[in-house]
Amino acid sequence: MINYLLRLGLSLLFITWVVSSLVFLLIHLVPGDPVSVMLGDWASPADEQALRHQLGLDRPLWQQYIHYFMGLLQFDLGTSLFFQQPVSDLVLERLPMTAYLAVMAMLIAVLIAFPLGMWAALKSGRWPDYASMTVALVGVSIPNFWLGPMLILLFSISLAWLPVSGADQPWAWVLPAVTLGTALAAILARMLRASLLEIFHEDYIRTARAKGLSNTRVYGLHALRNALLPVVTIMGLQLGTLLGGAVITEVVFDWPGLGQLLVDSIQRRDYPVVQACILIISVAYITVNALTELVYAWLDPRIRLAN
């Protein structure tokens, strides 16, 4: 297990290093001069020179890279051009809101997916199966930037049950979380159904039946517990994806998280903030994935003993 942990830790460090290097290079991909793109056409050469110096773009690339990495190690992500305050403060202020949204979305996804997936598997080949899998297919296919406005139209405007946007009012999280969680609910439901159906063919299920156990015990105790392993893995991996997908949902609902900060900063050409948001969301994604792998290895010894 120690060997496994070391290997996982090293690969986590390596990938974080590569990803942060790619994020560093991102600003150098701006066509032309990033400084004149940021300041617009009307900036004076003196202003441009000052900004170039502030961002360190007047130094050789390798010096910029070392400076960037030294900064990262002290969690110094530069200064926002728009807010004129440290980027790390801005990001830390928004991060909890995004994490909260992702966790609530996951919760809603689980609450929808489990009954749907189990019902489909138990009634496999009959109409409940087709109905719930059709619902799941629609769920995967609805883009969240359309589902969001439709939910607002129904629940906020027509029925006036829930707030339209923001995060100040109680229950304001419900519509964004449902919007973000729908696709995941659909994926999990399909996964759980497939996983259960596979397990129904196993010998130990036949044995449990032959022993005369009730259906509730066979399905609830023997089948569901074993079907959960792949589903839990997918849940962990998808939590990372939720962090990425939250960008669009946050914009739709004006949710004050990292994603909204990212899109606003892109429009303001505030590149230090853009870089920091991409870096933080990516690192969160990588860490969640590594933790999922760890939990999976802990649950299933075959994984950690491989290689």
Partner 1 sequence: MKWLSLLIVLAWFAMAFGAFLVGESANLVDLNKLLAMPDWQSWLGYDELGRPLFERLLLGAQTSLFVALGVVIFSALIGTSIGIYSGFMGGWVDRVITKVIDVFLAFPGLLLAIGLAAVLGPGIENVIFALVAVGWVGYARLARAQTLSLRHREHIQAARALGVSQPVILYRHLLPLILAPLGVEATFGFAGAVIAEAGLSFLGLGVQPPDASWGNMIREGTRYLLVAPHLVIVPGVALMLVVLAINVLGDRGRDRLDVKQSTPHV
In whole angstroms, what is the distance from residue 77 CA to residue 204 CA?
55
Helix (H) or strand (E) holding 223: none
Q: Which is nearer to partner 1, 44 or 141 (CB)?
A: 141
Least distance in Å: CB of 52 to partner 1? 17
Q: Which is nearer to partner 1, 142 or 167 (CB)?
A: 142
Q: Which is nearer to partner 1, 96 or 143 (CB)?
A: 143
Characterize 152-185 residue by residue with b for buried, 16 or more Cβ atoms within 10 angstroms of its Cβ, and e for exposed.
Answer: beebbeeeeebbebebeeeebbbbbbbbbbbbbb
Q: Token pair of 285, please?
A: 């994604």
Least distance in Å: CB of 144 to partner 1? 8
Residue 58 to residues 52, 54, 113, 160, 216: CA-CA distances in angstroms? 6, 9, 53, 54, 70
Least distance in Å: CB of 131 to partner 1? 13
Say if CB 296 and CB 303 are below 8 A apart: yes
In whole angstroms, what is the distance from residue 177 CA to residue 143 CA?
14
Q: Which is nearer to partner 1, 163 or 245 (CB)?
A: 245
Least distance in Å: CB of 297 to partner 1? 17
Site of interaction with partner 1 (CB under 8 A): 15, 18-19, 22-23, 26-27, 29-31, 124-125, 137-138, 140-143, 145-146, 149-150, 152-153, 157, 197-198, 200-201, 240-241, 243-245, 247-248, 251-252, 262-263, 266-267, 271, 274, 278, 281-282, 285-286, 289
Q: Which is nearer to partner 1, 76 or 264 (CB)?
A: 264
Least distance in Å: CB of 46 to partner 1? 25
